[in-house]
Amino acid sequence: MSRIAMTLPGRSMPAATARAGLGMIEAGWARSLVLARATRLDTAMQRDSAPDVRAVETTADGRSLAALVDAVARNRDRQAFGALFDHLMPRVKAYAMRLGASGPAAEEVAQEVMLLIWRKADSFDPARATVSTWVFTIARNKRIDLLRRENRPALDPGDPMLVPDSPRPADETIERDAAEIRLRAAIRTLPPEQAELLSMAYFEDRSHSAIAAATNLPLGTVKSRIRLALDRLRRSFKDE
Amino acid sequence: MSTRHPDDEILLAYAAGTASHGTALLVATHITYCPLCRGKLQAMEQVGGALMEALEPAAVSAGARDRVMALLDGDPRLGTSDSRPPVTAVTGRTVLPRALREAAGSDADGLAWQPVLSGVDQVLIGKAVPGGERTRLMRIRAGRAVPRHTHRGSEMVCVIAGGFRDVLGHYGPGDVAVADDAVDHQPVADDDRDCICLAVTEAPVRLTGRFWRWLNPFVQF
């Protein structure tokens, strides 16, 4: 359909962003996500007509995770859910274990996350997030809810107070899958000292000061390595 | 140091799920107003998803799959709402972002404001842990100044309504001001309306103005 026409002009954007200089660096995170989203919507719209053969997020046997979630949402497809289970359960369990849960506790948390995936499949919006992002936020929120009794403060996307995102020009569309491929490659090629601290920031319940204390590194070093890692990954969203 | 946005460490803590309750509340409030930080946060969550995907998958016990599949029958479907009903009734003149209203229990006009200092009222949110984080809504009357103070620890403030000015500049709705123990500042509310803000303080602030100094041991400010 219009997919090719929409994705090709995407390359013109990063050069413009690079030229814009320092002021744009902050905006880069937001911008790259908006761009990534635009293409995801495009992908979702044509899902009914053709299988997304270039999907990055796939099971070991090549089935698109987004299409599986969609099948669960539309048809309560148990077979699709089984495939999601096989792919996601070991990863969510690994995430819970990385955060300090014992094997059995991690398995229990991961089972609850899988049930939430079944229940909330309708709420997965490929225009807003990749499947792994969506599952990550569900697992993260489940963990917080288990740890704390109080309500978890969260943004309500339907809040009338919400200041909406600025509308995106049609030509600022880049290829979603390519962005996700670049992100994953960037994670794999992070310098080890950056990768380690980034993992600690995500997977250990510690402030940067606590990470500094645990690693015997100066706080400034911890902050700058995490910042460098994030900047590098942020750049990977863009086609540079 | 002062910015209009929470810094990346704060956003990352929210994205990773390690932020304290008060910090998470401040971030959820700020991103209601700030598409830029909302976008940054979504990017950080995408990184989190990719990092989780890259973890060595854990071995899952033999019965787990069958157990979960058996639980699917008759399991409720939550749909798209994320289980929060849409906002309908909006009460009062000063509407709070939803996360904040849920934490405070009502919109600003319905809260039990306690006077703390002349021209300054507050509502504590959640339980204050001695020596720990303190989260409160503050209302500074139009044109009034908050007494000079410094911080033992850091304070983050997010403006909800109105605005204030301090040595570092002017702050309006959604803006975040960060002050640490190096800053001795005196916020002054705009003249045209009361300023309401959310303040998260790592340790209680310390008043430094001449007149207020002696009050310090008594005022839980």
ipTM of the complex: 0.82
Which residues are CB-contacts of B141 (< 8 A; sequence separation ≥ 6)? B119, B120, B189, B194
pLDDT per residue over B60-92, tens digit each? 999 999 999 999 876 666 544 445 555 555 555
Looking at this protein, which amino acid is placed at residue A116? Answer: L
Question: Could you tell me which chain B residue has the CA closest to the CA of A150?
Answer: B21
Please state the rounded mean pLDDT for residues A157-185.
Answer: 71
A182 contacts in B (CB within 8 Å)?
Answer: none
CB-based contact, B73 to chain A, within 8 Å: no
Rounded to 5 degrees, what are φ and ψ at B140? -105, 125
CA of B80, closest CA in chain A: separation in Å?
4
Percent of chain A with pLDDT over 70: 70
CB-based contact, B74 to chain A, within 8 Å: no
Using CA atoms, how far apart are residues A93 and A103, in angstroms rounded to an integer? 8
For B38-83, the DSSP string reads HHHHHHHHHHHHHHHHHSPPPP--TTHHHHHHHHTTT----TTSTT
Q: Per-residue pLDDT for B13 more than 80?
A: yes
Query: Which among A81, A95, A120 has CB closest to B52?
Result: A95
Query: Which among B48, B53, B65 has CB closest to A91?
Result: B53
Predicted confidence band at B29 (pLDDT cuts at 50, 70, 90)?
very high
Q: Label residue A164 exposed, middle or buried (CB < 10 Å: 0-12, 13-18, 19+).
A: exposed
CB-based contact, A233 to chain B, within 8 Å: yes
CB contact under 8 A, B47 and A233: yes
Q: Per-residue pLDDT for B218 more than 60?
A: no
Contact B14, B45 (CB under 8 A): no
Please state the rounded mean pLDDT for residues B189-202.
Answer: 92
Query: Which among A89, A122, A161 has CB closest to B60?
Result: A89
CB contact under 8 A, B60 and A180: no
A165 contacts in B (CB within 8 Å)?
Answer: 35, 38-39
Q: Which pLDDT does position B77 carry in this prediction?
A: 60
Q: Which pLDDT does position A10 carry in this prediction?
A: 36
Q: Which pLDDT does position A239 carry in this prediction?
A: 55
Predicted confidence band at A206 (pLDDT cuts at 50, 70, 90)?
confident
List the domain boundaries for chain B: 1-221
CA of B144, closest CA in chain A: separation in Å?
26
The number of CA neighbours under 13 Å toward the Cβ of A90 is 15
- Helices (H) then strands (E): counts for chain A: 11, 0
What's the CATH code, domain B1-221?
2.60.120.10
Kindly report the average pLDDT of chain B as a whole number. 82
Using CA atoms, how far apart are residues A129 and A123, in angstroms rounded to an integer? 11
Residues 1-40 of A with CB under 8 A from B: 26-27, 29-34, 36
CB-based contact, B132 to chain A, within 8 Å: no
The strand order across the sheet containing B114-117 reads B114-117, B120-124, B134-140, B195-201, B155-161, B176-179
